[in-house]
Amino acid sequence: MNGLRKNASAPAAVQSIANALTKKWSKLLASSAPLFVVGFFFFFGFFGGNSACSGPARALALNGLGSFCHRLRPACFAAASTPVLIRPDPEFNPAVALKSAIGDKPRDKTVELFVNAFSIGIQNADQKLLLWKARQIEEAMFKEYNGFSEKYKSQFRTLLSNLKNVDNLKLRTEILGGDIAAKSVATFTSQDLMSESAKFAAKKAEAEFNHWASTAKSTEAVTDEFKCGKCGQRKCTYYQKQTRSADEPMTTFVTCQNCGNKWKFC
């Protein structure tokens, strides 16, 4: 927007509009108006009633406003991510002393990273509660995977990446609140740890796959040409179907016969 105001080659009408927009925009932001209200006001109010803003001038001004909105968008979304209050696990006793460290550096680092992940998006995060839960998960992992093994490390990476996901606030609050036993989290799979948005996307993809599978007329064939990305096996069945326009490539639907994983490609 400032570029439009200071652009000497821009029409005078555009510069005038840019100046007015900037002033009104600042006033609306100062009043903490939601971004969609601000956009609605400028597009339908200012441009709708200003006959001077038409043709190339209108297009140039709208482009400038769109760029300005895009730069402000991250701040708007960050403000919406307000930390939440949680109900601590009823079994948690803050009076019980906890050691600050296990004494094993790799395991202590695991606990530390779990604590940091648990605190994301939690307003009343009691550090002793976070440490208690992190210790329970780490100890269960250490026992389940026979010490600091490769399986331990792999499971740690899976857990940490999902616990740190900003969209996975529900998972963190349920673990800290005792709705999900911390010890059971140690053996959770990626599917168990999915955020609600990821689960929705997965269900949508599965529904789409099943839709095309149910309407397919071609016979499935067994092949070793495709490698399953989940289990690494090559025993698969597949069929092809025209899911788009006739001049587009057919869609290939593949099902792994070893683990049941499904995928498609064009």
Query: What distance in Å separates the CA atoms of residue 75 and residue 72, rounded to the nearest whole number?
Result: 6
- In this prediction, residues 8-22 reach a mean pLDDT of 63
Position 98 in a domain? no
CATH of the domain at 256: 2.20.25.10
Residue 126: what pLDDT?
Answer: 81
Please indicate, yes or no, whether the overall pTM of this predicted structure exceeds 0.75: no
Position 219 in a domain? yes
Domain total of the chain: 3
Position 128 in a domain? yes
Q: How many CB atoms lie within 10 A of CB 196?
A: 12
Any bridge partners for residue 168, and if so which? none
Query: Range of 204's domain?
Result: 200-265
Contact status, residue 179 vs residue 91, Cβ threshold 8 Å: no
% of the chain at pLDDT higher than 90: 18
Taking the CA atoms of the chain, what radius of gyration do you get in angstroms?
27
Position 156 in a domain? yes
Identify whether residues 121 and 189 lie together within a single domain: yes
> Which of 19, 46, 80 delimits the end of a domain?
80
- Sign of the Cα torsion 13, 18, 19, 25 reads positive
Query: What distance in Å separates the CA atoms of residue 263 and residue 251, rounded to the nearest whole number?
Result: 10
